[in-house]
Amino acid sequence: MTSFAFFQRLSKSFQDHPSHLKLILLCTTVTGGGLLAYSDAASSEVPVTEKKKVVVLGTGWAGTSFLKNLNNPRYEVQVVSPRNYFAFTPLLPSVTCGTVEARSIVEPVRNIAKKDFSSFSSEQKEVDVLFSEAECVKIDAENRKIYCRSNMNNNLNGKEEFVVDYDYLIIAVGANVNTFNTPGVVENCHFLKEVEDAQKIRRTVIDCFERANLPNLSEEEKKRILHFAIVGGGPTGVEFAASLHDFVNEDMIRLYPGIKDLVKITLLEAGDHILSMFDKRITAFAEDKFQRDGIDVKTGSMVVKVTDKEISTKELKNGGEIKTIPYGMAVWSTGIGTRPFIKDFMAQIGQEDIAAIFKKADKNNSGTLTVKEFQEAMNDICERYPQLELYLKNNQMRGIADLLKEAKGDVKKESIELNIEELKTALSKVDSQMKFLPATAQVASQQGTYLAKCFNRMEECEKNPEGPLRFRGEGRHRFKPFRYKHLGQFAPLGGEQTAAQLPGDWVSIGHSSQWLWYSVYASKQVSWRTRALVVTDWTRRFIFGRDSSRI
Ligand code: FAD
């Protein structure tokens, strides 16, 4: 990301671009999983009778939590998404091995919208929600239109493409899998992103066992077929490896005694450790546990090519030596990237120049900023971008003026003045090290709720803006910026053991955390129906084990 990309992307387009008046945008597609921004151009009073059209793209965590929390009858809502259901993604690894059934973790979006809106007062029941099963392929921000395409090829006679107008657009389309353009990945690897992916993985695992059990196969060929390679040692790859290990050892080995010694699970990670985003104690425990379980964790191993039968890796700890590993099934789980139409949209809305911030801060129009002016500008930036405050805290900086040390000498002297280039230097270090919010369901869901609350209070905040100062234009933004509240994270490690990292860096690993995991994930289900189904699936698995039929 180029210098100032953070400030550029976050500030610019949503502030004063004429075509983005009243555009409120939630975009959970950008790197760390959450970019929340809004435009605050002054808006005229709109009679309640004249409904504004809100178009929501996506029925994932962010889109659904927006829908659940919106209760302002001033809006009519149209949801556009290629899937007509919400999926509880944290349980996808459980679906890959049949611990939980696919239908237990999904809820039709029409149920979510209907149920939630009908629980409001009679006036609020008038919030209309329409759903179209299609994907957005292009956003025309200038004319406030989106171009959509139905992915059902069922004789729509050319009517599969349509255009939808909007007053406000909520972008909650999540992210793409990122293959880093590694040759052969798309053709030969499984991904674990959607419910269909999890179902396909489950079938393929069982398929591998059946194929390896056929007569006339050499021992070597059987070993290859029963070698499961997982690329990426992040939370998804680790949880899948653990689930697969449990499935194989608790269920499959019993049913396929002749080939049980040939099964191998390998986890390939380019970095030095798996679960590197977790506390070091969790990383160490996970690595030890996997070693004890016989899961081969290869760190410093970067996958450079995948063919139908072999994975080539570059051994970073071994002078870049290229190795090939035969495999039967590979799952690619190395991270996420921005969807192409969102990249196109971001290019359309442009980038902010730092000049707007500089101009606003330079109160006496001298062309330079005094330390005091810089301090005041940074206070406003901090209010608008709470991540900056976090950065300063993490880097143990006493105050914002510490940033100046990098840009210019001794900050204690009041006489020091900063020109625009030096302001850029001061901010560029922050920008290069600023961490985006993690790409988690927790972040996306909180963002959706935040945005719904903004819409619910739109009229009130238009009259009495409560947000930070505008760098372009006059006055304040309408809403306080989004602040993420971290509630902790889990890493299930198999064998009924889970690692939990809770707020305050409290770490708990073992069987007790597994029970905490069960209770949190049961309570976070989107409906009572899915909650009941998931709990029933867990109970069924405890009593009867997992089903190994290849259907
Ligand atoms: P998504 O939930 O991905 O939803 C995106 C929506 O947009 C979907 O409905 C999609 O169909 C739709 N869409 C896509 N393209 C278009 C288009 N062109 N037009 C219209 N709609 C479109 N997070 C946690 O916090 N804890 C966990 O334990 C956890 N485990 C995970 C396990 C797995 C296997 C995976 C894959 C993810 C996990 N996550 C977890 C991450 C979490 O799922 C994501 O961070 C979260 O789903 C992001 O929410 P979102 O709303 O931005 O996107």
The model's pLDDT over 316-330, given as tens digits with 9 standing for 90+, comes to 888 889 999 999 999
Q: What is the CA radius of gyration of the chain?
A: 26
Counting atoms of ligand 1 from 1, which one is nearest the CA of 58? 7
Task: Report the pLDDT value the prediction gives residue 5, as an integer from 0 to 100.
Answer: 45
211 vs 375, residue with greater confidence: 211
Mean pLDDT for the stretch of residues 512-524: 95
Mean pLDDT for the stretch of residues 101-124: 74
Task: Report the pLDDT value the prediction gives residue 350, as an integer from 0 to 100.
Answer: 63
DSSP, residue by residue, 161-204: EEEEE-SEEEE----EE--TT-TTHHHH-EE-SSHHHHHHHHHH
SS3 (DSSP) at 87: strand
Query: How far from 415 is each of 10, 227, 324, 357, 361, CA to CA, in Å?
Result: 31, 67, 63, 21, 17
- Of 435, 342, 481, 485, residue with least CA distance to 28: 342
One-letter amino acid for residue 118 of the chain = S
CA distance 96 to 102: 9
In this structure, which residue's CA is closest to atom 47 in ligand 1?
Answer: 441
Distance 232 CA to ligand 1 centre (A): 18
CA distance 494 to 238: 9
256 pLDDT tier (thresholds 50, 70, 90): very high
Give strand ranges (E) for 172-282. Answer: 176-177, 190-191, 227-231, 264-269
- Whole-prediction pTM: 0.83
Is the pLDDT at 10 greater than 50? The verdict is no
13 vs 383, residue with greater confidence: 383
7 pLDDT tier (thresholds 50, 70, 90): very low
Counting atoms of ligand 1 from 1, which one is nearest the CA of 82? 11
Residue 171's CB: how many other CB atoms inside 10 A? Answer: 26
CA distance 455 to 310: 52
Instruction: Find where tokens 């499961």 sit.
Output: 228
Contacts of 474 (CB under 8 A, 6+ apart): none
In the structure encoding, which two tokens stand for residue 501, read together?
């990292």
SS3 (DSSP) at 297: strand
- Of 165, 172, 144, 174, residue with least CA distance to 76: 165
Distance 279 CA to ligand 1 centre (A): 24
pLDDT, one tens digit per residue, over 490-500 is 999 999 999 99
Is the pLDDT at 179 greater than 60? The verdict is yes
pLDDT, one tens digit per residue, over 291-344 is 999 999 999 999 999 999 999 999 988 888 999 999 999 999 998 888 999 988
By the 8 A CB rule, do 264 and 212 touch? no
By the 8 A CB rule, do 538 and 99 touch? yes
Which range among 25-34, 254-263, 450-459 shows the weakest confidence by mean pLDDT? Answer: 25-34
Contacts of 395 (CB under 8 A, 6+ apart): 433
Angle (CA) 265-275-61 rounded to 5° is 100
Residue among 69, 150, 173 to mutate when testing ligand 1 (max atoms within 8 A of CB): 173
Residue among 25, 26, 56, 81 to mutate when testing ligand 1 (max atoms within 8 A of CB): 81
Counting atoms of ligand 1 from 1, which one is nearest the CA of 448? 51
Instruction: List, in sequence order, every residue forming a beta bridge with 303; answer none if it has no partner.
Output: 313
Q: What does the DSSP 8-state code read for residue 469?
A: B
Residues in the chain: 551
Counting atoms of ligand 1 from 1, which one is nearest the CA of 173? 7
207 vs 481, residue with greater confidence: 207
